[in-house]
Amino acid sequence: MFSALRGRSYGDNKKSDLPMTVDFKPRRAPSSKRVQYMRWAAYAAGSMFAIWLLSRLNAVNVQSPSYTEEEYNHYTNTKSIDYEKLKKFDEGVEKYLIDHQGIVRESPEFKELQQDIDNLYHSTVDYYDLNDYQGSADGATDGDHMLLCVPLRNAEPVLPLMFKHMMNLTYPHELIDIAFLVSDCSEDDRTLEAVFDYSRALQNGNLSKLLEEQESYKKDVSGTSELHLNYMDPDYIERRNNAFSPPFHKDYDKPFRSVQIFRKDFGQVIGQGFSDRHDVKVQGIRRKLMGRARNWLTANALKPYHSWVYWRDVDIELMPGDIVQFMMKFDYDVMVPNVWRPLPEFLGNEQAYDLNSWIESEAGLDLAKKLAEDDVIVEGYQEYPTWRPHLGYIRNPNGDPKEVVDLDGVGGVSILAKAKIFRQGVHFPAFTFLNHAETEAFGKLAKKMGFRVGGLPHYTIWHIYEPSEDDLKEISRKERKKRRQKNAAAKMKKKAGRD
């Protein structure tokens, strides 16, 4: 596990009714010279007591000498008394000093000792009233801390995009703790090293400069990995190119409250290609393993002072910088946006991506009754005809982005949830729950426990386009056709020049 630098200027900023201090200094044990002084003081005190007793018996007539404060402390050496040692044997006893003039006063040394003990106590004991961390609809103003959770697997190529989106968040960076979970990567993958390097640059405030240098280098290197962009809607390409153009918001380069990087495998062996991940045959086991990973990260990263948890997939291409505040203001316990993806023009330009956000249907409930207890319904596949209304398909590009619908299942691309629901037992089932698993079961479980689960049908974020094998074959065919047409045009032009 790696942990990036935490900005000292932000501090823990926890809510507590216990005073904090960082000035604790242990008292020194008395020196041998001081011990000798204490012995002399004891002899002197014993002698004076004996003389006083005799004078009371009229055996001796004496008069108490008059000492200055300095002389009294010199002879009695009261400042050398180690009250810390004495306190171990006197718990609950009030201690006072009777000076040479007969005035009773509390020892300054004891006051200092008591303060030292209090300081030590408060440096090792934290107090949280969880009623203060319920999640406010205006968390940015009310100072709500948020945990941003990002699961990663073979994600190195899209990390620059993810970090740009994080910097672009307008929710106060000093209120955000980031937790990455790197798991089940290929042997030659560098996701862990890359996320560590990017996180250090992020917290040092120079990540944007680093990413600019990388972009400049990338433009100088020719390749064919983005041939699909030649077939995308030009309007979308323009929005994509302008997504991270200046001017940025004033805190774009501001470090976050903290960054944690966890490394743990869960046995996920299913490939990361589009066709591999979305094959219906592997969905049940894949989602249960993802549920385990999400629960592990929640258990290890969630702190008592967090009021919100934001789960974000790494491969979002377009997303507003104020998405957190926008989803937060509806005061739902769980909220998700609509998630679509762009497509090449020969496939229709765009498509609903996340079909795991839906409203339950009678057909879905009837299907569940016919399945075995451990079977997982995989939404959006013809093998499971639930006929549920999907958040993606009730979208209207011109609809009101503030419209909310209640949901039963939710997708995991972008989930904002109040931290209190995790503390009360809501999680991402890594087993079959009501014939669902992971995020869809998370939505069902939250609703079963009485929490509000909602979605924004007309508020859309865009997932990156990942060409399937069939898409790549079609793009290759079109590229070959373009080359043939270009060569044919060049030959005709050359022939026309000879004529």
| Residue 359 maps to a domain | yes
Q: What is the pLDDT of residues 297-316, one digit of tens each?
A: 999 999 999 999 999 999 99
My answer on whether 381 and 482 are in the same domain is no
| Residue 209 maps to a domain | yes
Placement of tokens 């990455």 in the chain: 180
My answer on whether 479 and 423 are in the same domain is no
Mean pLDDT of the chain: 82
My answer on whether 333 and 351 are in the same domain is yes
My answer on whether 376 and 490 are in the same domain is no
My answer on whether 485 and 341 are in the same domain is no
Q: CA-based angle 442:448:454, to the nearest 5?
A: 60
Start-to-end CA span in the chain (Å) = 73
Residue 271: the pLDDT is 55
- How many CA atoms within 13 Å lie on the side-chain side of 250? 1
Distance CA 165, CA 243 (A): 9
| Residue 116 maps to a domain | no
My answer on whether 400 and 482 are in the same domain is no
My answer on whether 185 and 296 are in the same domain is yes
Distance of CA 300 to the CA centre of its chain: 10
Residue 123: the pLDDT is 72
Q: CA-based angle 383:428:461, to the nearest 5?
A: 75
Q: What is the pLDDT along the chain (499 residues), one digit of tens a residue?
A: 434 433 333 444 444 343 344 443 434 444 445 556 566 666 666 667 666 655 555 444 444 445 455 554 444 444 455 545 545 545 554 555 554 455 555 566 667 777 777 777 777 778 899 999 999 999 999 999 999 999 999 999 999 999 999 999 999 999 999 999 999 999 999 999 999 999 999 999 999 999 999 887 776 554 556 788 889 999 999 999 999 988 999 999 999 999 999 999 998 876 555 455 445 567 788 899 999 999 999 999 999 999 999 999 999 999 999 999 999 999 999 999 999 999 999 999 999 999 999 999 999 999 999 999 999 998 878 889 999 999 999 999 999 999 999 999 999 999 999 999 999 999 999 999 999 999 999 999 999 999 999 999 999 999 999 998 899 999 999 999 989 998 888 888 887 777 6
| Residue 137 maps to a domain | yes
Structural contact between residues 309 and 178, judged by C-beta atoms closer than 8 angstroms: no
| Residue 266 maps to a domain | yes
Angle, helix 159-168 to helix 207-219, in steps of 10 degrees: 140
My answer on whether 156 and 278 are in the same domain is yes
My answer on whether 350 and 403 are in the same domain is yes
Residue 21: the pLDDT is 40
My answer on whether 361 and 401 are in the same domain is yes
Structural contact between residues 105 and 86, judged by C-beta atoms closer than 8 angstroms: no
Residue 492 burial class via C-beta count within 10 angstroms: exposed 0-12, middle 13-18, buried 19 and up = exposed
My answer on whether 345 and 485 are in the same domain is no
| Residue 120 maps to a domain | no
My answer on whether 177 and 236 are in the same domain is yes
- How many CA atoms within 13 Å lie on the side-chain side of 122? 15
φ and ψ of 326, to 5 deg? -65, -45
State how many domains the chain has. 2
Residue 37: the pLDDT is 58
Please state the three-class secondary structure of 259-320 as a single string: EEEEECCCCCCCCCCHHHHCCHHHHHHHHHHHHHHHHHHHHHHCCCCEEEEEEECCCEEECC
Q: What is the pLDDT of residues 231-241, one digit of tens each?
A: 999 999 999 99
Domain that holds residue 211: 132-467
| Residue 25 maps to a domain | no
Strands (E), 23-144: 97-98, 104-105
Q: Three-class SS of residue 106?
A: coil
Burial pattern 46-79, b for ≥16 Cβ within 10 A else e, equals eeeeeeeeeeeeeeeeeeeeeeeeeeeeebbbbe
What type of residue is 276?
D
CATH number of the CATH domain containing 413: 3.90.550.10
Residues 6+ apart with CB under 8 A from 446: 333, 334, 417, 421, 426, 453
